[in-house]
């Protein structure tokens, strides 16, 4: 049994605990036991210990949390995983967006329940006290970065302003990492910052009433394909749909042939449909689905336009069809958003 009480560790102690934590990822009883111990140390919400033990105990706590993400209660998921751990989760190579979508899918079968949980997740992200670093003795948090991004984009900022913010982010966030922690980062700096920006755009654009259809579209893209194209396949093949997270979506532990070292391999991400897999997209079906799921105002315009655009962008990526992204676009001559009738009637 390893000692996980918070304290300053020697290099040899760090290596020993790190090896034990990595091995526990394939031993569920140990993984859960270690998580509970670390959870007791960090559950009070204090950022002091998070910052002090960022490269050791906080890293291990985050690793274990996101490896058992689907076992978290709503409160743990919202307040800990989303509210406090996203920066470290990105450093460790987790696909945060995919994990959020998957959690909502397996935990919330009712649209209203999913909307309620999503709004709490959204708020926890926007108000996250997770410390990114310090500047002139002032703590800079994730909520600070999110606000800066939203302000710049609302103003229609240029690339120079964004580059300045990104540079500042790199200096306060990455430069404070010790050398051992830097060796364990599995992704590029720019990818981590861009992931935070994309999460900010997603949560800004998607209101509660749009989340259910986005989750559904990401988990079941075939729902929005041309039914006539795949009906013959559906007659012969009944998919075995399970709400258990795929094993390939996890960080895998493997042994090198000539080494006893345990190597962390980044989790495998889903690839877009290959040209051979693509089917004809039912543009009219997408239009009807959005009309059914999104509320309109008295003038017939969607109340949550950002949610509609985000969903279309998601579907475009799923199908590899850029026409889907522009299916609903802003017409300058009419001064508003309209559907592309050429595609709908084609």
- pLDDT tens-digit series, residues 46-81: 788 888 898 899 999 999 999 999 999 999 999 999
Shared-domain flag, residues 235 and 173: no
Q: How many residues does the chain have?
A: 346
Please indicate, yes or no, whether residues 325 and 183 belong to a single structural domain of this protein.
no
Please tell me whether residues 229 and 206 are part of one structural domain.
no
Report the percentage of the chain scoring pLDDT > 90: 33
Residues 162 and 248 in one domain: no
The answer on 20 and 120 residing in a single domain is yes
Which helix (H) or strand (E) segment holds residue 31: the answer is helix 28-42
pLDDT in tens, 144-155: 999 998 888 777
Residue 263, pLDDT > 70, answer no
- List the end-to-end C-alpha distance of the chain, in Å, as a whole number: 66
The verdict on residue 216 lying in a domain is: no
Q: Are residues 166 and 305 in the same domain?
A: no
**Which residue, of 159, 176, 211, is where some domain finishes?**
211
Whether 95 and 269 have beta carbons less than 8 Å apart is answered as yes
In 3D space, the residue among 99, 129, 105 whose CA is nearest the CA of residue 117 turns out to be: 105
Residue 195 sits in the same domain as residue 236: no
Alpha carbons 309 and 319: distance in angstroms, whole number? 15
In a domain, 76, yes or no: yes
How far apart CA 330 and CA 323 sit, in angstroms, is 14
Domain with 332, as residue range(s), is 225-254+277-345
Domain-located, residue 260: no
pLDDT of residue 200: 92
Residue 157's pLDDT band (cuts 50, 70, 90): low
Tally the domains of the chain.
2
Whether 79 and 131 share a structural domain = yes
pLDDT at 344: 86
pLDDT digit string, tens, across residues 17-47: 999 998 998 888 899 999 999 999 998 877 8
Torsion of CA 287, 315, 87, 184, to 10 degrees: 180
Across the strands, what pairs with 337? Answer: 330
pLDDT at 227: 44
Residue 223: what pLDDT?
62
- For residue 70, count CB atoms less than 10 angstroms from its CB and return exposed for 0-12, middle for 13-18, buried for 19 or more: middle
Does one domain contain both 304 and 207? no
| Predicted confidence (pLDDT) per residue in 126-139, tens digit | 999 998 888 887 88
Instruction: Assess whether pLDDT exceeds 60 at residue 256.
Output: no
Mean per-residue pLDDT, 223-247:
42
Using the predicted structure, report yes or no on whether residue 238 has a pLDDT greater than 70.
Answer: no
CA 16 → CA 62, 185, 232, 244, 327, distances in Å?
A: 18, 19, 56, 32, 55
């Amino acid at each position: 049994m390893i000692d996980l009480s918070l304290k300053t560790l020697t290099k040899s102690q760090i290596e020993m605990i790190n090896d034990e934590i990595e091995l526990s990822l394939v031993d569920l009883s140990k993984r859960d036991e270690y998580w509970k111990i670390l959870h007791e140390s960090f559950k009070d919400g204090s950022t002091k210990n998070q910052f002090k033990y960022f490269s050791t105990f906080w890293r291990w706590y985050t690793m274990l949390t996101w490896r058992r993400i689907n076992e978290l209660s709503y409160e743990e998921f919202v307040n800990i995983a989303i509210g406090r751990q996203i920066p470290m989760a990105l450093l460790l190579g987790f696909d945060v967006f995919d994990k959020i979508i998957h959690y909502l899918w397996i935990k919330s079968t009712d649209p209203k329940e999913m909307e309620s949980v999503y709004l709490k997740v959204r708020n926890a992200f926007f108000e996250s006290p997770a410390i990114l670093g310090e500047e002139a003795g002032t703590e800079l948090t994730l909520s600070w970065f999110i606000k800066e991004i939203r302000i710049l984009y609302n103003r229609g900022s240029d690339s120079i302003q964004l580059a300045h913010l990104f540079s500042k982010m790199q200096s306060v966030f990455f430069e404070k990492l010790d050398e051992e922690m830097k060796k364990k980062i599995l992704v590029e700096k720019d990818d981590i910052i861009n992931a935070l920006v994309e999460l900010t755009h997603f949560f800004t654009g998607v209101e509660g009433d749009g989340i259910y259809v986005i989750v559904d579209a990401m988990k079941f893209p075939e729902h929005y394909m041309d039914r006539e194209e795949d009906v013959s396949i559906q007659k012969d093949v009944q998919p075995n749909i399970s709400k258990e997270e795929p094993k390939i979506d996890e960080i895998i532990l493997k042994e090198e042939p000539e080494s006893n070292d345990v190597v962390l391999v980044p989790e495998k991400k889903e690839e877009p449909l290959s040209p051979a897999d693509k089917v004809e997209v039912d543009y009219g079906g997408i239009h009807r689905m959005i009309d059914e799921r999104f509320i309109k105002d008295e003038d017939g315009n969607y109340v949550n336009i950002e949610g509609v655009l985000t969903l279309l962008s998601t579907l475009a990526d799923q199908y590899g069809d850029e026409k889907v992204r522009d299916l609903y676009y802003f017409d300058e001559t009419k001064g508003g958003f309209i559907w592309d009738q050429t595609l709908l009637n084609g």
